[in-house]
Structure 1
Amino acid sequence: MNISVLGCGRWGSFHAWYADKIGHDVVLWGRPGSKNLAELRDRHANEYLQMPESVELSDDLSYAVERADIIIISIGAQQLRSFAGQLAELPIKNKTFVLCMKGLEIGTGKRLSVVMREEVGPEPDIAVWVGPGHVQDFLKGIPNCMILASDSDEVTARLVPIFHGPLIRFYYGKDLLGTEIGAAAKNVVGLAAGMLDGVHYGSLKGALMARGTKELSRLIDAMGGDAMTVYGLSHLGDYEATLFSPHSNNRRYGENLMLGKPSTKLAEGVYTAEALMALSKEYNVELPISRSVYEIVCCHKEPKAELERLFLRSEKEE
């Protein structure tokens, strides 16, 4: 199978490495002038992995798209709409796109598959690949479970055996809406977990996990998805990797914020918190954890006071 990976950051380079490892012919694309691509070309490695020589590196988007049967996209979620607009000008009618990002579009709150569909039209198949796992662990040979979902059972069933391998066991996602909302929102909960670590309130992570899943289940239900999806791999199943792992950019960002340290790695949860506020208003669903994170990271409220207000709210039924 010819697979092209668009985006050569941490996850993009991993997806290229993984697709090559399970036997596919892989092109890894980066933007012209990309520092990540330049590093890979220079030494066929980055800070995470050694890229096999069999993975072709390219900055030619037309070439990467035209030679692929399946196209994996791994870029910042807020870049997707403009990037998809570029893809729409290329011959993509019979391609299958797999979105390997977690986020919601700020300003609209739209899911990434919706953003993609609006830009590329009805023809190409679109799926999402989410779930727990860290590049650092996969490179050590530590396996994990992930999920593939689309709005077509046929597309999902076709993709799972293509990507299944000894490192990743894939499950079939039946609820694309819930899968995408859960995957995006767990990064917001990850920010909250890091904040708790930063003020040495780690014992509250249990409450954070319980209440985080509950508030997101209400949102998914109000949007027309399956409320139980949030308890699967896309959200609750990803909590260990997001709320506790030292590799989690979102958890680290929240902790650094409390400690007054700068963060250099992208924390998609910052944008997602803003997008969730739009959905909270649109669907009239209270999201107290997401709102507190939004107030801290976007409105610059005093973090410790906001966290204490969140967890010491007035008495109510669970």
Structure 2
Amino acid sequence: MKISVLGCGRWGSFIAWYSHHIGHDVLIWGRENSPHYQELEKTRKNEYLTLSSDIYLTHNLKTALTKSDICVISINSQQLRSFGKQISSLNIKSKVPFILCMKGLEIGSGKRLTTVLSEEIGITSPIAVWVGPGHVQDFLCGMPNCMIMSSLDTTLTKYLAHAFSSPLIRFYYGKDLLGIEIGAAAKNVIGLAAGMLDGIGYSSLKGALMARGTHELSRLIEAMGGNPMTVYGLSHLGDYEATLFSEHSNNRRFGEDLILGKPFHKLAEGVYTVQALMDLSETYHVELPISKTVYEIIYNHTNPRKELEKLFLRSVKSE
């Protein structure tokens, strides 16, 4: 099977490596002026892995879109709309499925990523999401994990899950696309909160964070029309270990470094997602106290210790 991976950052380059590892023909696309692409083109390496010489690199998007059976997109979630416009402008008549291997919500609209892409490329192109726990570093060491594939079409979901399943990644079929997307995006915000707790020396509160975080997001998913139980699956609660505890979690690291006053230069999607969650909180009239606390600390520069203590230690109420 021919797989095109659009995006050559940490996760995109891993997906290319993984797809080749399990026997697919792989092409990876990146922007010509992207440092990630230039590094791979020059050395076929990045800080995590080495790509096989059999994996074809290109900065020609039309080539990537027309020479594949499946297209995987792995880019910054806030760039998806403009990227969708770029894809649409090529006017390629194809029904090749797209898989979004990214987690986030659009700032300003709060829209899910499948909605954003379908608005730009049209509803005739099938779109799925690939989310769940696992870090590049762990996979490359041979550590297996479980992930989830989901779309609005059960047949498509099963086709894609089987196409990418291996002893390294076991896929489950996701039935609630809305809940899966919201949960996958929002767990990054919970990861920011976990890092903040680490930063102030309150790591033991992560248990309370997990309990209240899942409850908070289940209420939002239900209000939006999804299944509130979805949040307890692989897209959200199942991804907590990798996001709230792992040294490899960019969101956890961002939260911790913010408290400690250290610069953090890698992508932490939760920083954007928390803005979208505040819009959804208002739209659907659902209180999101953890998300609001994270937002206040990051964007309004409130005192982290006071805000987190107020959130976890000072409220007396029924659970």
> Considering the TM-score relative to the shorter chain, is it more than 0.5?
yes
Partner of 1:10: 10
Matched residue type, 1:84: G
Cα offset, 1:93, TM superposition: 3.0
- In the TM superposition, residue 95 of structure 1 has moved relative to its aligned partner by 1.1
CA distances 1:50-97 after superposition (whole Å, capped 9, x unpaired) = 111111011111101111111000000000000001111231531100
Answer whether contact 1:72 1:98 (CA < 8 A) is retained: yes
Q: Which residue number corresponds to residue 57 of structure 1?
A: 57
Task: Report the counterpart of residue 280 of structure 2 in structure 1.
Answer: 279
Which AA in structure 2 matches 1:243?
L
Q: Which runs of 5+ in 1 are unaligned?
A: none
Q: What secondary structure does 2:89 align onto?
A: coil
Determine if the alignment matches structure 1 residue 175 to structure 2 residue 176: yes
Mapped to 1, the partners of 2:188 and 2:140 lie a distance apart of 22
Contact 2:30 2:37 in 1 (8 A): yes
Name the counterpart of 2:46. 46
How far off its partner does 1:302 sit? Answer: 1.5
Aligned to 1:27, what secondary structure does the other structure show? strand
May I ask how many residue pairs the two structures share in their alignment?
Answer: 318
Aligned to 2:193: 192
The answer to whether the 8 Å contact 1:65/1:92 transfers is no
In the TM superposition, structure 1's runs of 4+ consecutive aligned residues that sit over 2 Å from their partners are none
Find the counterpart in structure 1 of residue 130 from structure 2. 129
Percent identity (aligned): 66
Give the deviation of 1:27 after TM superposition.
0.5
1:144-159 to 2 correspondences below 5 Å: 144-159=145-160
1:201 paired with 2:202, answer: yes
The equivalent of 2:240 in structure 1 is 239
Q: Distance in 1 between matches of 2:5 and 2:282?
A: 36
Structure 2 Cα separation of the partners of residues 241 and 129 of structure 1? 16
Taking the aligned partners of 1:76 and 1:296, their CA distance within structure 2 comes to 23
Aligned to 2:84: 84
Match of 1:308 in 2: 309
Distance 2:268 2:22 in 1: 29
Residue 249 of structure 2 corresponds to 248
Partner letter of residue 14 of structure 1?
A: F
CA contact (8 A) 1:131 1:183 kept: yes
Partner of 2:19: 19
Q: Is the 8 A contact 1:92 1:124 kept in 2?
A: no
Name the amino acid aligned to 2:293.
Answer: S
